[in-house]
Amino acid sequence: TWQHMGLTGTHTIPRIAIDPKNPDIVYVASSGHEWTDNEDRGLYKTTDGGESWEKILYIDERTGVIDLVMHPDNPKILYASTWQRIRRKWNDPRVEPGYDKNTIYKTTNGGKSWKEVSTGLVRAEDRGRIGIDICRSEPDVLYAFVDNYEAARVPEEGELNSYGLPRQAVIRGATVYRTDNGGGEWHQVSETNKYMESLSNTYGWVFGQIRVDPNDPDRIYVMGLALHMSKNGGKTFKRIGRMHGDHHGLWIDPANSKYLVNVNDGGVAISYDGGKHFRDFTDDFPLVQFFNVSYDMDDPFTVIGSIQDHGSFKAEVDLSRGRHHIPAEEWDRAPGGEGTRHAIDPTDPNTVYASSFYGRLGRTDLKSEERTSVLPNPDEGELPFRGQWLSATIISPHNPRVIYHGMNYLFRSMDRGDNWERISPDLTYNDPAKYGDIPYQTIFAVAESPFSFGTIYVGTDDGRIHRTTNSGTDWTELTSNVPVHQWVSKIVASEHTDGTVYLTQNGKRFDDFAAYVWKSSDKGDTWEDISGNIPCGPVNAITEDPKNPNVLYVGTDLGVYVTLDGGGTWQTLTADIPTTFVHDVTVHPREDLLIAATEGRGMYVMDIRYIQQMVDSVQNSALFVFAPDEAKLPRGWRRAGITGNIVYALNAASDVTIEISDAEGNTVRTLKHSGIVGINQVEWNLRMDPEEEDGYGDRVEPGTYTIVVKGNGVRAEGAIVVIDN
């Protein structure tokens, strides 16, 4: 269990140091808000176990503390590295003109006073993020891992950066310094070469982690795209392990330096021999980070999504054991990369459109495995089109040959992507000051009305919303009464009512964590706030229930929420899904399954037929029993059956008794359940009551069984059919 101890306004906490002699004394480093300036940056200290906090080191509203180490023998001696940074929507954090506050501080009196200890480091104007560590066995020895912005060389002709753009001056990047006198003076120990340049590439701001062997001051580890080790005090490095890329943490056992625990973007890896071999736990933890989800209309149907660092994958949804026992599946490769949205032809599950990596677009025939690039190209002399990491690609609900693709312009193809026409002007703010390494000012959300071909809604990452009712001949801006500049994360044109549109906005890039959910009943001319009681955003996606027009689902950074009254009130859907970042949600219209793509917990599905039936009369009933699915007896040990799934709803919590009787009225099974307000599920294993308390009853025979549910002082009945397998 955990208790919240404050410092909410910091947003990001990179390091905590606890006094080993007094655990009520704790130091917390705050690097602050990611996207905006704020005064909660700095270093905090508590002497009462977190009941109160004092800020003991503060530079300014853009400079936080990114790393912190404590002297192993004297807890009043600490070293803190500061980082002046802000993240731009069009550029990663970097040293900007005027930045000179990235440095290292030392205190010898528990934070009462601080002294800058940066002599020997690269000049302040060229320092990026700084990671630090101390050797426990020789605590005068410390290392600093500096993201060095000194120019290293002129790029080679045609050399591209990590974003696929022409490379500018190449910086030195990863540079390691050492002090042997507690920060009195530093000297560079690492080489200046292409190996060190490529260690973090242009992502030095992401890593910045260094560790010193607690028993050997000359053995150090630095983390970048891979894990690197030096045995000679940083003079030379070699890559160790073949784990997943992007390394962010390493623990070294002080009692056994050969025992290493590494964390990276793929999970956890452990070495027991000092890094010669690593045991990878990637398959043991459900850590898959899905960006999105789409589905086909095959039977059984397939879901498809893109995964960070891995590419795109697909899997069938197996309903053979019942909709309440959908198993985990092995996933197969699918068209697209790691940043891909998929649009699958509803009339042909073998035709998949995959947009990836800043607007690239391809069409794949899964049967022949033939892939065709169908990306629109700019005219000669025109600037390249800007496309988001997850570009918007949809298939028209009126004709599966009609494809829409969003860059900074909206494009339409009438022939499956073979030919394109530009049907909009630049629909973003198109501010040249916001051109950068990362494409920004792009179309992120597109929806076409299922009632009217050519009525299209477009939302951008810089917060503009437009509508056309004539396939792009004219465009109307719809941004007037929603928050300006907020990322439009999803637009849904209702399938139930012409003119009804739903829209979500994500304020994360303004450090705004409100829930923005909007509804329009007049094609976007006006917007109504339907976020209701959703406690927190950002909101990443919204989808409409295909059967019940009052039911909507949203995915937020904290999970999935559902409304039964069109957005008046919301409830969380947390039965089997943990509190987690939900990137995308959608509903399979034939199977009535809600699908959620999570950032770090894989893909989930939920049977929503009972939610669809939660009309006012059901919600107001003291007790309501839903019609059960057909159950199927197992056949021996090899062929599983489908257990009975008894679902009921209560308007007040109550202990519940369920009696199951055969056609002659004989009670074959009695079940007890503690019912909560709302929908409840009880599983019946198709056995009779056991003769002994801890025994198994006999299997029931095929037939129709009456279910009587008693609770809240009332009773309700249903029937379940059990068939042979």
**Residue 198, H or E segment:** helix 194-200
Q: Given CATH 2.60.120.10, say whether it is the number of domain 294-544.
A: no
Q: Give me the phi and psi of 96, to 5 degrees please.
A: -100, 160
The answer to whether residues 446 and 458 touch, using CB atoms and an 8 Å cutoff, is yes
* pLDDT the model gives residue 159: 82
**pLDDT tens per residue across span 511-521:** 999 999 999 99
* pLDDT the model gives residue 345: 98
pLDDT above 90 covers a percentage of the chain that reads 88
* pLDDT the model gives residue 625: 97
The answer to whether residues 355 and 392 touch, using CB atoms and an 8 Å cutoff, is yes
Tell whether the model's pLDDT for residue 277 goes beyond 80: yes
* Closest alpha carbon to 122 in 88, 95, 161, 162: 95
The answer to whether residues 282 and 265 touch, using CB atoms and an 8 Å cutoff, is no
Band (pLDDT 50/70/90 cuts) for residue 638 is low
The answer to whether residues 29 and 43 touch, using CB atoms and an 8 Å cutoff, is yes
* pLDDT the model gives residue 357: 82
The answer to whether residues 235 and 190 touch, using CB atoms and an 8 Å cutoff, is yes
The answer to whether residues 122 and 162 touch, using CB atoms and an 8 Å cutoff, is no
3-state secondary structure 236-297: CCEEECCCCCCEEEEEEECCEEEEEEEEECCEEEEECCCCCCCEECHHHCCCCEECCCEECC
**pLDDT tens per residue across span 298-322:** 999 999 999 988 899 999 999 999 9
Residues in a beta bridge with 80: 68, 105
Looking at domain 621-723, which CATH architecture does it have? Sandwich (2.60)
Tell whether the model's pLDDT for residue 336 goes beyond 90: yes
Band (pLDDT 50/70/90 cuts) for residue 86 is very high
Band (pLDDT 50/70/90 cuts) for residue 637 is low
Tell whether the model's pLDDT for residue 12 goes beyond 80: yes
d(CA 351, CA 366): 6
Q: What is the mean pLDDT of residues 142-161?
A: 89
Tell whether the model's pLDDT for residue 562 goes beyond 80: yes
* pLDDT the model gives residue 13: 97
Cis before 538 (ω within 30) = yes
**pLDDT tens per residue across span 686-707:** 999 988 776 788 999 999 999 9
Q: What is the mean pLDDT of residues 182-209?
A: 94
* pLDDT the model gives residue 287: 83
Band (pLDDT 50/70/90 cuts) for residue 190 is very high
Q: What is the mean pLDDT of residues 615-625?
A: 95
Band (pLDDT 50/70/90 cuts) for residue 203 is confident
Q: Which two tokens stand for residue 609?
A: 């037929």
- Alpha-helical segments (H) within 59-193: none
- CA 13-61-247 angle, 5° bins: 35
- CA distances (Å), origin 461, targets 35, 244, 268, 341: 15, 30, 34, 16
Which stretches of 425-565 are assigned E, i.e. beta strand? 443-448, 456-460, 465-468, 476-477, 487-493, 501-506, 516-520, 528-529, 539-544, 552-556, 559-563
Q: What is the mean pLDDT of residues 415-419?
A: 96
The answer to whether residues 550 and 575 touch, using CB atoms and an 8 Å cutoff, is no
Tell whether the model's pLDDT for residue 262 goes beyond 70: yes
Question: DSSP characters for 648-702?
Answer: EEESS-EEEEEEEE-TTS-EEEEEEEEE-SEEEEEEE-SBPPPSSTTS-PPBPPS
Tell whether the model's pLDDT for residue 466 goes beyond 60: yes
- Mean pLDDT in the chain? 95
Tell whether the model's pLDDT for residue 658 goes beyond 90: yes
Q: Where are the domains of the chain?
A: 1-116, 133-171+194-285, 294-544, 621-723
* Closest alpha carbon to 144 in 136, 156, 153, 135: 135
* pLDDT the model gives residue 23: 97
pTM comes to 0.94
* pLDDT the model gives residue 154: 85
What is the separation of C-alpha 627 from the centre of its chain, rounded to a whole number of angstroms?
36
Band (pLDDT 50/70/90 cuts) for residue 639 is low
Band (pLDDT 50/70/90 cuts) for residue 281 is confident
Q: What is the mean pLDDT of residues 467-491?
A: 96
